[in-house]
Amino acid sequence: MSVLLDILGSVGMWEAVLRIATPLIFGTLGVLLCERVGVLNLGIEGIMTFGAMLGWLTVYSGGDLWTGMLVAALGGAMFGFLHALLTVPLGLSQHVTGLGITLFASSFSYYVFRLAIPTASSPPTIEPFRPLDIPLLSDVPFIGPVLFNQTAPTYLALALVAALVWILYRTPLGLAIRMAGENPHAVDAQGIDPIWLRIGTIMAGSALMGMAGAFLTLAAFNSFFPTMVQGRGWICVALVVFASWNPARALLGALLFAFFDAFQLRLQTVVEGVPYQLFLMLPYVLSIVALIAMARRSRVPQALMQPYRRGER
């Protein structure tokens, strides 16, 4: 029991929670935007991998870190446009298209990486984002190091949660996005083209997915390797259901998963005689339990995964 209390009282663990949660926040907001407008985007795993590679390659080639984030967002938006083009006006299967984009983007990322770095035996490194030392606030005991000693993209992710809450629930654009995922015919009746609204929103959500991947190479780590996303994209898809398609709850879900992940990492160092694979399972098992508990009360957007055809109901 004392070991568990020591872990829970550790400043380092709570710092890690916010750091681990950051790519999940970006990715979950991206999936949430796509699904709010009525389109399931299972391309997130590949888009995150592509964003991680593109952001890293931009900085490795001489760009600054924020340029790397921007290029990763543009790369994500590019794949988002491809997904939107196939699923919205053409009405192809969102499941098949999304999985196809994941396979293509992941493979293409490794291909481009090898073209740029053909002979390196180990991934080259860059200088990543450094934690910001906010005067006075970072000196507050416990809270200061946890909340005010993070990298800049972490604060951007938190700001995007607040921005997305405001856009979705306080602006005409947000109302149109939500209605496109509920009843696109009603959006069309108001003079807004649901097809272009869906395409634009999917591109915006996919840009956030690209930024989620870029965080891994530009802040969490300092190099790129093809398997670094490690299923975070699928976790983001599950977190959207856990959050009932609400950005504020999505933040809570990302922090909850990150807590489980940070906790199991520290358990591995203090508990002996237990296979480490059991600890690796812990955040996923607990997330499944939480997802089952919350999914019963979730209300799915009524037009999710339903292609829109003008004049058809």
Assess contact for 116 and 57: CB atoms under 8 A. Answer: yes
3-state secondary structure (DSSP) of residue 200: helix
Give residue 242's pLDDT band: very low, low, confident or very high (50, 70, 90): confident
Assess contact for 181 and 36: CB atoms under 8 A. Answer: yes
Residue 267 domain-assigned (yes or no)? yes
Residue 45's domain is classified under what CATH number? 1.10.3470
Residue 178 domain-assigned (yes or no)? yes
Q: What token pair was written down for 284?
A: 């996923």
- What average pLDDT does the structure give for the chain? 89
Q: What token pair was written down for 245?
A: 């398609």
* Residue range 177-197, pLDDT digits in tens: 999 999 999 999 888 999 999
Helices (H) and strands (E) in the chain, counts: 13, 0
Residue 278 domain-assigned (yes or no)? yes
Assess contact for 142 and 11: CB atoms under 8 A. Answer: yes
Residue 140 domain-assigned (yes or no)? no
Angle at 163 between CA 139 and CA 239, to 5 degrees: 90
Ramachandran bin of 39, using left for φ above 0, alpha for ψ from -120 to 50, beta for the remaining angles:
beta
| C-alpha closest to that of 306 among 198, 193, 168 | 198
* Residue range 50-94, pLDDT digits in tens: 999 999 999 999 999 999 999 999 999 999 999 999 999 998 999
Q: 246 is in which domain, residue-wise?
A: 3-119+150-297
Residue 91 domain-assigned (yes or no)? yes
Q: What token pair was written down for 95?
A: 């499941």
Residue 136 domain-assigned (yes or no)? no
Q: What token pair was written down for 229?
A: 């996303």
Domain count, the chain: 1
Residue 50 domain-assigned (yes or no)? yes
pTM, two decimal places: 0.93
Percentages of the chain per state (helix, strand, coil), in multiples of 5: 70, 0, 30
3-state secondary structure (DSSP) of residue 43: coil
